[in-house]
Structure 1
Amino acid sequence: MTLARFDVQGDRVVIVNMNTTRRGALSDDLYEAIQDGIAAANAPEIRSVIVTAEGGYFCAGGNLNLLRERRTMTEQARRQAVDDGLHASIRAIRSSPVPVIAAVEGGAAGAGLSIALACDMIVAAEDAQFLAAYVRAGLVPDGGLTASMARILPRPIAMEMCVMGRSVGASRMADLGAINQVVAKGAAEAAAHRYADALAKGPRQAQGVIRAMVNDAYGTSEEAQLDRERDAMAHAAGGGEAAEGIAAFLEKRKPDFS
């Protein structure tokens, strides 16, 4: 199995492939692939990013052997290691200029769940399990997991997953509104590409502004969000994407945002 990497594919999508030798366990090359893949999405032709993995498992989370080695480090050094690796990758996903789609096969555990929930949309295989595994090893969540859960899940479910370490299946996550689509085993990446294809037909600038506004709205007052929406709408209404979109609507045709 090859190491984590990113590729730019023909349908205007960046694929971040989280392959490692240990069922998607996090590593420096994985963090590099995520951050470089998001950076590549700044190219104007890119419309989305898909985060996936081969081998039937999305990401098993942190490498416990590495965490055991870090016990010899100072607490400040351990903080820096988290900031430079996992948290830099989460920040990259959150600041992506285009939507990020997670394609989850098998499961997303620990920091792998943090990565999945940091994405804008999630498609998952019907047998996938979502597990905040930290407490099982006497650890606590990182990678923004508690923040993501607070935005996405009811508090009792977040507590059950984090404090008790219980896994939740894809169908239940879908019922809770935490993932977009449940598909057959082995079909998650194909489903993610269908999302990517739909996004590629849309207005890139408007999509980027919308995803940023939605993400920021969770930590913003309604009054501040009203102001932000006003400013964004005033700017968008004078742009080329709006000119094409409005004309297409009035002329009863499909818009061409290419």
Structure 2
Amino acid sequence: MTDKTVLISQEGAVRILTNSNPAARNAITPTLYAELSAALTDAQNDPEVGAIVFTGAGDFFCSGGDLNLLAKRRELPEAERREKLEGLHDLIRALRDCGKPVIAAVEGGAAGAGLSMALACDMLVSARDAFYTVAYVKVGLTPDGGATAFLAEFVSRQLLTELCLTGDRLTAERLHAMGAVNRLTDKGAALAEAIALAAKVANGPQRASARIKTLCRQAHRATLEEQLEAEAVYMVASQADAEAAEGIGAFLGKRKADFVALRRAPQPDAS
């Protein structure tokens, strides 16, 4: 038995992080903030890890915040309520900003901040029968965890407003059609598919991948000139990187590039 909220396992170069609170459909707890952030940092710093899969225990991804805890926060001063909320927001930033690819594997559903965590990941694999909902309005609350920011990347203002004001569910198939879900699977197969997708990118050039993640993350809100500048900065840096020497040399030599060994060598900051 374990009292850990985040369970950690490894398959090849893929680190699997599991939010384990199944009795509450993996509702978010303050313990999750610290444990998942620490697990992401550990995976980031581990040269044996090339990609990360984040999932929920059992048959549900995450039901959002624990309403029992949220009810008690009404009694706290505003500054303390804000401080506790920043724990969630720091976790969202940790998922988004991790230098290694993070893939969400969703079964059952993702509600409230659970939706935010799923969308904060770089890619999303979902069972076809899973649902997604902003949900907050149903309990008299407003969205947090970046839900409106992430949804606004691929839905219109009108649809975003409808989803937030009604709390209606979105099906995984609809999110897939909108481009927010990378892979649809049968029920119970999301984790295996996410691990397979993670394995596909896990042995790639780690520093180039971190730069690509940054470019993709900011592309939807940057102007063309801003994005051209960012691409120029990263391309110039990448050309001088040992990863480029290996990748180009392998291509010209008609062999498979081996980027894994480079992870163990000291490198300057990828930014």
Q: Identify the TM-score tier after normalising by the shorter chain.
A: over 0.9
Partner of 1:37, secondary structure, is helix
* Structure 1 residue runs without a partner (length 5+): none
* Structure 2 residue runs without a partner (length 5+): 261-271
Partner of residue 82, structure 1 = 85
Partner of residue 203, structure 1 = 205
Partner of residue 265, structure 2 = none
Matched, 1:57 2:60: yes
Offset at residue 66 of structure 1 (A) = 0.8
Q: Is the 8 A contact 2:7 2:20 kept in 1?
A: no
Offset at residue 10 of structure 1 (A) = 4.0
Q: Is the 8 A contact 1:183 1:191 kept in 2?
A: yes
Offset at residue 157 of structure 1 (A) = 2.9
Alignment length (residue pairs): 257
1:173-184 counterparts in 2 under 5 A? Answer: 173-184=175-186
Q: Is the 8 A contact 2:17 2:53 kept in 1?
A: yes
Partner of 1:98, secondary structure, is coil
1:159-198 counterparts in 2 under 5 A? Answer: 159-198=161-200
After TM superposition, what 4+ stretches of structure 1 lie above 4 angstroms from structure 2? none
Aligned residue identity for 1:211 = K
Partner of residue 46, structure 1 = 49
1:110-121 counterparts in 2 under 5 A? Answer: 110-121=112-123
Offset at residue 165 of structure 1 (A) = 0.7
Partner of residue 251, structure 1 = 253
Q: Percent identity?
A: 44
What TM-score comes out, normalization by structure 1 length? 0.94
- Aligned alpha-carbon RMSD (Å): 1.5
Following the alignment from structure 2 to structure 1, what is the Cα–Cα distance between the partners of residues 141 and 240? Answer: 50
Partner of residue 9, structure 1 = 10
Q: Is the 8 A contact 1:6 1:34 kept in 2?
A: no
Q: Is the 8 A contact 1:6 1:14 kept in 2?
A: no
What TM-score comes out, normalization by structure 2 length? 0.90
Partner of 1:253, secondary structure, is coil
Following the alignment from structure 1 to structure 2, what is the Cα–Cα distance between the partners of residues 48 and 200? Answer: 5
1:25-174 counterparts in 2 under 5 A? Answer: 25-43=27-45, 44-83=47-86, 85-174=87-176
Q: Which moved more, 1:170-179 or 1:29-38?
A: 29-38
Partner of 2:152, secondary structure, is helix
Matched, 1:225 2:230: no
Partner of 2:74, secondary structure, is helix
Offset at residue 164 of structure 1 (A) = 1.1
Following the alignment from structure 1 to structure 2, what is the Cα–Cα distance between the partners of residues 8 and 208? Answer: 22
Q: Is the 8 A contact 1:109 1:130 kept in 2?
A: yes
Deviations 1:132-153 (A, max 9, x none): 1101111110001111111133
Does the C-alpha gap of structure 1 residues 37 and 6 become closer, same or farther in structure 2, counting only changes over 3 Å?
farther
Deviations 1:162-216 (A, max 9, x none): 1111101111110111110100100111011101111122111110110012112
Following the alignment from structure 2 to structure 1, what is the Cα–Cα distance between the partners of residues 159 and 242? Answer: 44
Deviations 1:199-251 (A, max 9, x none): 12211111011001211233333212211211110111111111121122223
Partner of 2:251, secondary structure, is helix
Deviations 1:109-158 (A, max 9, x none): 00000100111100001110001110111111000111111113333332
Q: Is the 8 A contact 1:105 1:128 kept in 2?
A: yes
Partner of 1:72, secondary structure, is coil
Q: Which moved more, 1:122-131 or 1:15-24?
A: 15-24
